[in-house]
Structure 1
Amino acid sequence: MLIDKNIKLVPFIRRPNRFQGYVSIDGKEEMVHVPNTGRCREILIPGTTVVLREENNPSRKTRYDLIAGYKGDKLINIDSQAPNKVVEEALRNGKIEALKKYTNIQREKTFGNSRFDFKLSDDEMREYYLEVKGVTLEENGKTMFPDAPTERGRKHLLELVEVVMSGRRAGVLFLIQLDGADYFTPHEAMDKPFSDAVRYAYENGVDVFAFDCKVGVDYITLDKRVEVRL
Structure 2
Amino acid sequence: MIFDKPTKEVVFLRRPNRFQAYIELEGEEVLVHVPNTGRLREILIPGCRALIRYESGAKRKTAHSLIGAWKGNQLINFDSQIPNRVVEEALLERRIPHLAEYTQVTREKTFGKSRFDFKLSRPDAPDYYLEVKGVTLEGDGVVSFPDAVTERGARHLRELVEARNAGFGAGLIFLVQLENASYFTPNAAMDPYFAESLRYAMEHQVEVAAYTCRTTTESLTLDQAIPVRIEGE
Give the TM-score of the pair, scaled to structure 2. Answer: 0.97
CA deviations on 1:141-163 (whole Å, 9 max, x unpaired) are 10000001000000000000000
Identity in percent? 55
Q: Displacement of 1:41 after TM fit? A: 0.6
Q: Which residue of 2 aligns with 1:70?
A: 70
Q: Distance in 2 between matches of 1:59 and 1:224?
A: 38
Matched, 1:206 2:206: yes
Q: Distance in 2 between matches of 1:120 and 1:3?
A: 25
Contact (CA 8 Å) 2:104, 2:122: kept in 1 or not? yes
Matched, 1:101 2:96: no
Q: Which residue of 2 aligns with 1:92?
A: 92
Q: Which residue of 2 aligns with 1:48?
A: 48
Q: Distance in 1 between matches of 2:199 and 2:6?
A: 41
Q: Which residue of 2 aligns with 1:17?
A: 17
Amino acid at match of 1:127: D
Contact (CA 8 Å) 2:142, 2:183: kept in 1 or not? yes
Q: Which residue of 1 aligns with 2:136?
A: 136
Q: Distance in 2 between matches of 1:59 and 1:176?
A: 31
CA deviations on 1:93-141 (whole Å, 9 max, x unpaired) are 0000000011110000000000000000112252100000000000111
SS in 1 for 2:65: strand
Q: Displacement of 1:56 after TM fit? A: 1.7
Q: Displacement of 1:205 after TM fit? A: 1.1
Q: Distance in 1 between matches of 2:11 and 2:153?
A: 32
Q: Distance in 2 between matches of 1:17 and 1:187?
A: 23
Contact (CA 8 Å) 2:126, 2:167: kept in 1 or not? no
Q: Which residue of 2 aligns with 1:28?
A: 28
SS in 1 for 2:193: helix
Matching of residues 144-183 of structure 1 within 5 Å? 144-183=144-183
Amino acid at match of 1:66: L
Q: Displacement of 1:34 after TM fit? A: 0.3
Amino acid at match of 2:12: F
Q: Displacement of 1:27 after TM fit? A: 1.3
Q: Distance in 2 between matches of 1:181 and 1:151?
A: 26
Return 5+ residue gaps in structure 1 as ranges.
none
Q: Distance in 2 between matches of 1:3 and 1:164?
A: 35
Q: Which residue of 2 aligns with 1:118?
A: 118
Q: Distance in 1 between matches of 2:214 and 2:51?
A: 15
Q: Distance in 1 between matches of 2:91 and 2:171?
A: 13
Amino acid at match of 1:72: G
SS in 2 for 1:228: coil
Give the TM-score of the pair, scaled to structure 1. Answer: 0.99
Structure 1 runs, 4 residues or longer, greater than 2 Å off: none
Q: Which residue of 2 aligns with 1:83?
A: 83
**What's the C-alpha RMSD, in Å, of the aligned pairs?**
0.7
Number of residue pairs matched by the alignment: 230
